[in-house]
């Protein structure tokens, strides 16, 4: 199993110091790769050189389906192997017209990605489960997408993360490793991975069982310095993955 960081986690560092410092921080913490959430205004060639410099793989990216075509130079140039829809809003699921457009856009994007051997999937939040809904299954079925389960958001929605992984078996591509606080999880800082409310031991055991190749760390709110969080969480993840 390899370990990556969703670069949205380091958005504040990017604002302070730029793309290179973000990649340096990920590399120095010991990670294998990154999942992009934008490309920092760099060209594909510039970003490829930075990845090479810091010995990181550009394994995946969060890209809305309507933006996939314009992002193909990055997908091709960086060797990105997974693309995930980062967000479909509650209003898009609730409106037949808007949802139909999302599915249509996904179909067009998937055709482009399939031709490249790139896996196209969907990344969830909590609203997909609201009011007893199962929008993760709906969109992955109807748009023929794989899933990138975010175990934090599943937990916030009151779901058991391991049970959700089992339920999505066969369509689960990667997993977002995001810890949850014991109380007020939706708004509190995320603890170091393995030190919070998510059954991370069970999550990593199920990842092994399903042969999930990458664990992608994401943090929205830090309980400590960014570099400390990255290092300590990676150390715990490596133990959990044994």
pLDDT at 14: 97
- Note the helical H segments in 56-95: 72-78, 90-94
Q: pLDDT digits over 201-211, tens only?
A: 999 999 999 99
Residue 14, in any domain of the structure? yes
Number of domains in the chain: 1
b/e for 100-112, b at 16 or more Cβ within 10 A?
eebbebbeebbeb
Residue 156 lies in a domain: no
Residue 181 gets which letter from DSSP?
Answer: -
Residue 207 forms part of a structural domain: no
Q: Is residue 20 part of a domain?
A: yes
Percent with pLDDT over 90 in the chain: 100
Is 40 inside a domain boundary? yes
Supply the pLDDT for residue 215.
98
pLDDT of residue 76: 98
- Rounded to an integer, what distance in angstroms lies between the CA atom of residue 205 and that of residue 72? 34
Which residue from 162, 174, 158 is spatially nearest to 199, judged by alpha carbons?
A: 162
Which tens digits make up the pLDDT trace of 114-147? 999 999 999 999 999 999 999 999 999 999 999 9
Residue 198 domain flag? no
Task: Supply φ then ψ for residue 147, to 5 degrees.
Answer: -120, 145
d(CA 186, CA 180): 8
Asked if the structure places residue 213 within a domain, the reply is: no
Q: Domain residues for 45?
A: 2-146
CATH number of the domain where residue 68 is located: 3.20.20.150
Residue pair 168/152 in contact by the 8 Å Cβ criterion: no
Neighbours of 71 (CB within 10 A): 20
Q: Which whole number is the average pLDDT over 212-230?
A: 98
Q: How confident is the model over 146-188, as pLDDT tens digits?
A: 999 999 999 999 999 999 999 999 999 999 999 999 999 999 9
């Amino acid at each position: 199993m390899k370990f990556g960081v969703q670069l949205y986690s380091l958005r504040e560092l990017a604002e302070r110091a730029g793309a290179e410092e973000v990649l340096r921080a990920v590399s120095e913490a010991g990670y294998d790769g990154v999942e992009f959430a934008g490309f920092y205004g760099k060209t594909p060639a510039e970003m490829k050189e930075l990845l090479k410099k810091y010995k990181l793989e550009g394994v995946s990216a969060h890209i809305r389906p309507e933006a996939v075509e314009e992002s193909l130079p990055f997908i091709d140039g960086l060797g990105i192997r997974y693309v995930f829809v980062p967000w479909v809003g509650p209003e898009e699921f609730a409106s037949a017209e808007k949802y139909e457009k999302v599915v249509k856009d996904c179909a067009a994007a998937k055709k482009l990605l399939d031709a490249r051997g790139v896996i196209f999937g969907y990344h969830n939040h909590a609203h997909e489960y609201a009011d007893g809904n199962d929008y993760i299954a709906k969109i992955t079925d109807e748009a023929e997408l794989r899933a990138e389960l975010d175990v934090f958001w599943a937990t916030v929605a009151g779901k058991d993360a391991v049970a959700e992984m089992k339920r999505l078996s066969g369509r689960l591509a990667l997993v977002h490793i995001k810890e949850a606080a014991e109380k007020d999880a939706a708004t509190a800082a995320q603890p170091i991975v393995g030190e919070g409310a998510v059954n991370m031991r069970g999550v990593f055991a199920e990842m092994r069982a399903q042969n999930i190749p990458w664990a992608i760390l994401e943090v929205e709110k830090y309980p400590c310095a960014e570099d400390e969080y990255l290092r300590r969480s990676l150390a715990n993840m490596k133990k959990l993955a044994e």
